Structures are given as structure tokens and as C-alpha cells.
């Protein structure tokens, strides 16, 4: 399953809380993130977030490269051995940030990411929805390259997440990120538990869409 949302929405806190809860139930949990879930990904993350200007099309491809390597080397093997994978951001971040934020076209960006991952989609995606003005006040440290992208960019990104969630309610759970942490965690756990068998069938890299 994946967590999505704007910066400062509390994704990492919720991802850790869910991982702790599932581990307490005896599940193997792989808690990971994009970009940067693998050693190669850490290098790509550094270039994407803390390097110089990156052309928007190159940005799409670098996030997709991070994702392809992440899925092939970490996510698929974990799902195949029955672990639960919790990823802090996945393909929907590219569709929202690059497709809508950068205005490159959601469908095209989605196709690139689906090609990169061999069609692997999460069984559950939780959107922690937050007004970007509020998100900004929650950030600590120097803003990274994406966090500096401007108010319009972040408003488009938020709208894109919400529209995407509305189109596919079977996969998405939208939560108001201003709710108390424990309340959010309870909603997330209930949804993940309801999705049944936490690690769903894994499509092979050459087949169509599947679940993570």
C-alpha cells in the first residue's frame, strides 16, 4: 500500500504507525519510500531534490527510474515472499507532481510509470489531504527543490490527487490530514485490514496492472 499527499501532510508518521501495528500482529513489513528506497534511489533523490535545475521531462524519467529500480529490487521480492509493503509515495506522486504540477499531462506520466513498474499498483492508497498553505507551516529545515516550486504548483498537485482518488475509490482512502494522528492511524488500519490479505497477487513485470 502507499501513502500520498502534499509535503507536511504526515505521511511518514502514518507509515511508521501502520508498520508498527502490522508488525505487532506478526506480519513482515517493508517500510520504504520514493524517491530513495534503494541505494541507487538515494543518489537519484539527492539529484532530484538537492541538485541543480532538472528539465521537467528529465524529472519524470528520473522519478520513473527510481521507481523501476525500487519495484524490481525491493518491492516485488518483498510481495512475493508475503511481506506487506508500505511505501511513502509511489506512482501517484509522479502523476500529480509531474503530470499536473509541471503540466506534462497526467495520462502520459502515468503510462511512463506503469511501464517502469510493469503495471504494479497498490491495493490501497491513502491520500492525506492538506491545504498546501498549512503543509508549508509544518515543514522543518530548508525547503527542497520541489517544496520551492510555488503555490500554484502545489495547488494543482493537491487537486490532481483529489481528482485521481475520486476516479478510483476502490483503491483510494482520502483522509483530512488535520485530524489527530491516532484518529488517522485508526482509519488507515481499518482500511488496510478491510482490503484483506495484505500482500495481494503480484503481477509479473510483463503483465498488466496488479496490486502491491
Contacts to ligand TYD by CB under 6 A: 7, 33-35, 49, 63, 89, 93-94, 97-98, 144, 146-147
**β-strand partners of 210:** 120
Question: Which one-letter DSSP state was computed for residue 19?
Answer: H
Shortest Å, Cβ 157 to ligand TYD: 8
Nearer to ligand TYD, 33 or 164 (CB): 33
For the bound state, the minimum distance from the C-beta of residue 149 to ligand TYD, rounded and expressed in Å, comes to: 8
Nearer to ligand TYD, 28 or 174 (CB): 174
Specify the pairing of strand 120-121 against strand 84-88.
Answer: unpaired
Shorter beta-carbon distance to ligand TYD: residue 28 or 105: 105
Compute the least distance from the CB of residue 6 to ligand TYD, in Å: 8
Q: How far is the CB of 16 from ligand TYD (least distance, A)?
A: 13
Residue 211: which H helix or E strand, with range? Answer: strand 210-211
Sign, CA dihedral 55-61-64-70, equals negative
* 164 neighbors 211 (Cβ within 8 angstroms): no
Amino acid at each position: 500500500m502507499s501513502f500520498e499527499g502534499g509535503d507536511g501532510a504526515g505521511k511518514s508518521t502514518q507509515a511508521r504507525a501502520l508498520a508498527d501495528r502490522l508488525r505487532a500482529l506478526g506480519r513482515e513489513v517493508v517500510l520504504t519510500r520514493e524517491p530513495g528506497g534503494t541505494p541507487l534511489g538515494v543518489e537519484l533523490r539527492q539529484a532530484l531534490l538537492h541538485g541543480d535545475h532538472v528539465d521537467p521531462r528529465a524529472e519524470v524519467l528520473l522519478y520513473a527510474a527510481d521507481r523501476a529500480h525500487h519495484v524490481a529490487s525491493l518491492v516485488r521480492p518483498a510481495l512475493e515472499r508475503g511481506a506487506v509493503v508500505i511505501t511513502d509515495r509511489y506512482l501517484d506522486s509522479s502523476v500529480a507532481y509531474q503530470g499536473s504540477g509541471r503540466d506534462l499531462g497526467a495520462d502520459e506520466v502515468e503510462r511512463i510509470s506503469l511501464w517502469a513498474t510493469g503495471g504494479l499498483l497498490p491495493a490501497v492508497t491513502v491520500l492525506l489531504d492538506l491545504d498546501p498553505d498549512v503543509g508549508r507551516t509544518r515543514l522543518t529545515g530548508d525547503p527542497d527543490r520541489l517544496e520551492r516550486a510555488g503555490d500554484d504548483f502545489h495547488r494543482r498537485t493537491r487537486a490532481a490527487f483529489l481528482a485521481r482518488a475520486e476516479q478510483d475509490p476502490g483503491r483510494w482512502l482520502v483522509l483530512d490530514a488535520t485530524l489527530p494522528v491516532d484518529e488517522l492511524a485508526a482509519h488507515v488500519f481499518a482500511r488496510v485490514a478491510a482490503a484483506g490479505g495484505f500482500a495481494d497477487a503480484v503481477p509479473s513485470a510483463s503483465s498488466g496492472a496488479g496490486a502491491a
